[in-house]
Amino acid sequence: MRAVLQRVTEASVTVDGEVVGAIDRPGLVALVGVTHDDGPEQVSTMARKISDLRILRDERSVLDEGAPVLVVSQFTLYADTRKGRRPSWNGAAPGEVAEPMVEAVVAALRERGVEVATGRFGAMMQVSLVNDGPVTLVVDV
């Protein structure tokens, strides 16, 4: 499982002109990708990393601040661009595998007391955000 975490002051996801998820105060955007062999251990570790990493201002975490997280599924995080000009998506888990895994990360975050907004799995989404810092990290578990 892989995530790109961005510290933001605000963020939203729009699908077909409708805002489907938003955070309106400082927190994180988590773009989450799933690969074929991810399971419950990766879900648990990713939720812990997202909620506990001290990457907010003053070295605080999402849990320390009570900050929200916008989770957006992102299969393109597993693109292989080593050959040619066309990325290979073979590393990304298929939708029927990835969707429940992303939902499990969201559920695990909520179980930890994190306020979570989401995009819409499989939809063409427009993600808007104001990156704070900027701070952007890649997390592999």
CATH code of 95's domain: 3.50.80.10
| Domain coverage including residue 48 | 2-140
pLDDT at 92: 96
* Structural domain total, the chain: 1
Active site residue: 14, 35, 74, 118, which one? 74
- Residue 121 designated active-site: no
Q: What is the full per-residue pLDDT of the chain (141 aa) written as tens digits?
A: 999 999 999 999 999 999 999 999 999 999 999 999 999 999 999 999 999 999 999 999 999 999 999 999 999 999 999 999 999 999 999 999 999 999 999 999 999 999 999 999 999 999 999 999 999 999 999
Catalytic residue among 42, 75, 118, 136: 75
Angle at 103 between CA 78 and CA 24, to 5 degrees: 95
CA distances from 23 to 9, 26, 28, 90, 114 (A): 8, 8, 9, 32, 12
Beta bridge partners of 80: 88
Residue type, 32: V
Q: Choose the catalytic residue: 42, 76, 81, 136.
A: 76
Return the percent helix, strand and coil in the chain, to nearest 5: 30, 40, 30
Contact criterion met (CB below 8 Å) for 25 and 33: no
Long-range contact set of residues 42-45: C-beta below 8 Å, sequence gap at least 24: 42/1, 42/101, 42/141, 43/1, 43/101, 43/104, 43/105, 43/108, 44/108, 45/1, 45/141
Q: What is the pTM of this model?
A: 0.96
Name the amino acid, one letter, at 88: S
Query: Is 9 an annotated catalytic residue?
Result: no
Q: Which amino acid is at 126?
A: Q
Among this protein's residues, is 42 annotated catalytic?
Answer: no
